[in-house]
Amino acid sequence: MSEKAIVFIDGSWLYKCRSILFSKLGEENFEIDYAKLPRLICEDVANSLDEDVSLVRTMYFGTIPTARTGFNTAKQYSFYDFLEKSCGYDTNIHEVDVGGDDNRMAGSWVNVSLATNLVYYAALPNVMDIAIIVSDDPDLAPALRRVRSLGKRVQLVEAHSSAATPATLSSCRRIDDFPTIYLDDHAADVKLIRERITRTCKLCGREEETTWAGTDFYCSQCRGRHRNV
């Protein structure tokens, strides 16, 4: 019988750690293969356990800033739609009035949402055996201790950093059951390789060159309107 795993992704952390992945490959930028990412992590866990690991679901936690001048929310909403429709993610997105460039409130929303779902799924019978946490935020430690007290195992996924940083989640005690997986060790595997192609906008029929791989394509002019159609 395979071990059932749920992947919990802190979207804010994953976005910030991209620079570490870029540096690993000596590149300035590239796209992450979000469809492949949770499967890759589960394969790593399965190899570590020498057991089959079944991916039950992938949960992604993020925010939309509602009071940031000049911020294009349409592009971010399109990205979250892509995660749901094309990658099969269960997205938990919160609209947060952060104001200015202060991300502290946004981070709190993500942490609370992620921790709540962690404990919820750990408490359900026969749903999850392993919780895979893609984040390095030590504020999640109390929730992880509770998850382990409910008989579930925890796998942490972080990234190396050469800079002096505060304590990370993996430095906390009694919160995990396996050696930490470092995402930058798999940078080449999570890099999305695809070519630019010409696609037709679903709303206006206009053709536009893009690398977008989602099921539905909207041109740059219609992208902000399709959610209300």
DSSP per-residue codes, 176-229:
-SSPPEEGGGGHHHHB-----EEEE-TTT--EEEE---SSS---TTTTTTGGG-
Mean predicted confidence (pLDDT) in 58-64: 94
Kindly state whether residues 44 and 91 are assigned to the same domain.
yes
pLDDT at 102 over 60: no
* One domain for residues 24 and 63: yes
* Residue 83: pLDDT band with limits 50, 70, 90: very high
Predicted pLDDT at 103: 56
Q: Which residue type does 183 have?
A: L
**228 and 140 in one domain?**
no
Residues 215 and 171 in one domain: no
pLDDT of residue 229: 46
Strands 207-210 vs 197-200: parallel, antiparallel or unpaired:
antiparallel
Q: What is the pLDDT of residue 212?
A: 74
pLDDT value, residue 47: 93
pLDDT at residue 202 is higher than 90: no
Region for 78 from its dihedrals, namely left if φ exceeds 0, alpha if ψ lies in -120 to 50, beta otherwise: alpha
Evaluate if residue 150 carries a pLDDT over 80.
yes
- Of the two residues 72 and 221, the one the predictor is more confident about is 221
Structural domain of 160: 3-193
Do residues 17 and 113 share a domain?
yes
Q: Give yes or no: residues 34 and 134 share one domain.
A: yes
Highest mean pLDDT among 108-112, 147-151, 199-203: 147-151
153, 201: one domain: no
- State the average pLDDT for the chain: 88
* Number of domains the chain is built from: 2
pLDDT for the residue numbered 50: 92
Q: Tell me if 86 sits within 8 A of 215, measured CB to CB.
A: yes
Co-location of 91 and 38 in the same domain: yes
Please give the residue that has the higher pLDDT: either 200 or 98: 200
